[in-house]
């Protein structure tokens, strides 16, 4: 991956910056203002891969991404789980009692909601965590703080007032690795895979029940099912499904054939290896 260019949302010190460095440490990267910008760079051939957060163990799904993915011309190559440790950052020599306002990305603010409320801080939404940290230097006001990474504190010479400001331990963000190329791994029986797709249902009674019934009757496990209204409609819903399996498996092929009979616009977003972190999570929950 040394010769690949990675696009991510945020600036240096953002959690997406940390995530891409952990997965592709020797690659070049382009920081983008929005998720859409990062995806567009890949679609336009100016970057090879976009690394985009899609959900968090504390704050849930990143709503914007679920709406962008069906419209894109990109494919999911892989997934990555990044543990997130939020820090409360401020200007040098600031004290907790000086602070009135705390800025960060809405997802980060949501992941620190309990702590923010306990201090009676007023949250202010920004485009990204590191950008909120950088802005503290411009504001030069000790009433303002930011929720961001320890790397952001180092890059922008800020004070870490609280080292672990998140509401829950083990806070983790799932990233999708997106590419213009649709690279499907060769199926191996001893490997585990995920197939992700989106679809809408036909306007018939019990359409969703019938569309999903094929997965149950064919013994296919659904890992995730997300629904959201389509743009410009109050009654048409789109569904995002993560499926435990590979499209080369016969029982999944039969289930997908049944889905296509009852659904409209079935689009497979990608087939990729199941990240080992999922099994670690499952094991820790069972202990």
Give per-residue pLDDT as tens, 134-149. 999 999 999 999 999 9
Backbone angles phi, psi at 60, to 5 degrees: 85, -155
> For residue 119, what is the enclosing H or E element?
helix 113-119
Together in a domain, 255 and 280: yes
Is 167 contained in some domain?
no
Is 188 contained in some domain?
no
Q: How far is CA 227 from the centre of its chain?
A: 16
- Tell me the pTM: 0.87
Q: How many domains does the chain have?
A: 3
Domain that holds residue 272: 193-286
Length of the chain: 287
In the block, tokens 């011309």 appear at 73
Together in a domain, 273 and 215: yes
Share of the chain above pLDDT 90, in %: 70
Is 187 contained in some domain?
no
Together in a domain, 14 and 63: yes
What pLDDT, on the 0 to 100 scale, is given for residue 235?
Answer: 59
Average pLDDT over residues 195-214: 87
Residue 244 contacts residue 47 (beta carbons within 8 Å): no
95 by DSSP, 3-state: which?
Answer: coil
What pLDDT, on the 0 to 100 scale, is given for residue 270?
Answer: 97
Give the model confidence (pLDDT) of 140-187 as tens digits: 999 999 999 999 999 999 999 999 999 988 889 999 999 999 999 999
Together in a domain, 79 and 102: no
* Contacts with 173 (C-beta within 8 Å, 6 or more apart), sequence order: 15, 19, 53, 55, 56, 57, 81, 82, 84
Phi-psi region at 123: left, alpha or beta (left = phi > 0; alpha = psi -120 to 50)? beta
What pLDDT, on the 0 to 100 scale, is given for residue 267?
Answer: 93
Q: DSSP characters for 75-93?
A: EEEEEEEEE---EEEESTT
Question: For the domain that residue 242 is a member of, what is the CATH number?
Answer: 3.30.70.260
Other Cβ atoms less than 10 A from the Cβ of 203: the count is 9
Together in a domain, 77 and 128: no
Together in a domain, 201 and 123: no
Question: For the domain that residue 26 is a member of, what is the CATH number?
Answer: 3.40.190.10
271 by DSSP, 3-state: which?
Answer: strand
Together in a domain, 45 and 123: no
Together in a domain, 77 and 133: no
d(CA 76, CA 88): 33
Other Cβ atoms less than 10 A from the Cβ of 228: the count is 15
Together in a domain, 241 and 218: yes
Is 269 contained in some domain?
yes
Together in a domain, 78 and 111: no
Together in a domain, 42 and 117: no
Please list the active-site residues.
173, 175
d(CA 50, CA 29): 9
Is 133 contained in some domain?
yes
194 by DSSP, 3-state: which?
Answer: strand
Is 185 contained in some domain?
no
d(CA 210, CA 202): 10
What pLDDT, on the 0 to 100 scale, is given for residue 285?
Answer: 59
Res. 275 pLDDT band, cuts 50 70 90? very high
């Amino acid at each position: 991956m040394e010769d690949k260019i990675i696009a991510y949302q945020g600036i240096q010190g953002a959690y997406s910056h940390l995530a891409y460095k952990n997965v592709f440490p020797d690659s070049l990267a382009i920081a983008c203002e929005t998720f859409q910008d990062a995806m567009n760079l890949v679609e336009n051939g100016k970057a090879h891969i976009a690394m985009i957060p899609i959900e968090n163990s504390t704050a849930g799904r990143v709503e914007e991404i679920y709406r962008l993915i069906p419209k894109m011309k990109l494919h999911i190559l892989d997934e990555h789980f990044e543990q997130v440790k939020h820090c409360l950052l401020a200007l040098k020599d600031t004290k907790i009692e000086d602070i009135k306002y705390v800025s960060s990305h809405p997802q980060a603010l949501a992941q620190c909601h309990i702590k923010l409320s306990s201090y009676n801080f007023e949250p202010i939404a920004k485009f990204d965590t590191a950008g909120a940290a950088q802005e503290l230097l411009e504001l030069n006001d000790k009433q303002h703080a930011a929720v961001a990474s320890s790397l952001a504190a180092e890059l922008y010479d800020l004070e870490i007032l609280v080292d672990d400001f998140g509401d829950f331990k083990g806070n983790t963000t799932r990233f999708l690795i997106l590419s213009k190329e649709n690279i499907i791994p060769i199926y191996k029986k001893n490997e585990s895979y995920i197939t992700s797709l989106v679809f809408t249902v036909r306007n018939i009674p019990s359409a969703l029940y019938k569309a999903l019934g094929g997965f149950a009757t064919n013994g296919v496990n659904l890992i995730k099912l997300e629904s959201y209204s389509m743009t410009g409609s109050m009654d048409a819903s789109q569904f995002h499904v993560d499926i435990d399996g590979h499209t080369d498996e016969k029982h999944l092929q039969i289930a997908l054939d049944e889905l296509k009979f009852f659904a409209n616009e079935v689009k497979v977003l990608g087939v990729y290896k199941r990240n080992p972190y999922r099994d670690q999570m499952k094991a820790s929950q069972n202990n």
